[in-house]
Amino acid sequence: MTSHRKAEDQPEQQSREPLLLWWMPVLALLAPLIAAAWLGVSADDDALGEAAFGLVWPGIPAYFATLAVFWLGWKVELE
């Protein structure tokens, strides 16, 4: 005798979605790179130092803010 299980008897298999999609952190890198390039190009002197500083401020907060917007938009769209 074979046992046949109905679909409702089997536990639901939840699809495991990734925490972050691969393109989210990559695309979020554009914000600090643009900020650093802008500050470096517009500097009167020591353009490399200004660009390096631009990666730190506003680069790091811009990266995390952009990443948060992408992630929240993705999560809200899923639910």
Q: How far apart are CA 22 and CA 41, in angstroms?
A: 30
Q: How far apart are CA 61 and CA 53, in angstroms?
A: 13
Which pLDDT band holds residue 30 (cuts at 50, 70, 90)? very high
Q: How far apart are CA 28 and CA 66, in angstroms?
A: 5
Q: Does the pLDDT value for residue 4 go beyond 90? A: no
Q: Which segment of 3-12, 15-24, 68-77 scores lowest on mean pLDDT?
A: 3-12
> Over the stretch 52-63, which tens digit does the pLDDT of each residue have?
999 999 999 999
pTM for the model stands at 0.71
Domain ranges of the chain: 23-78
Residue (of 1, 2, 71, 67) closest to 31 by Cα position: 67
Reading the block at residue 5, the tokens are 């299980």
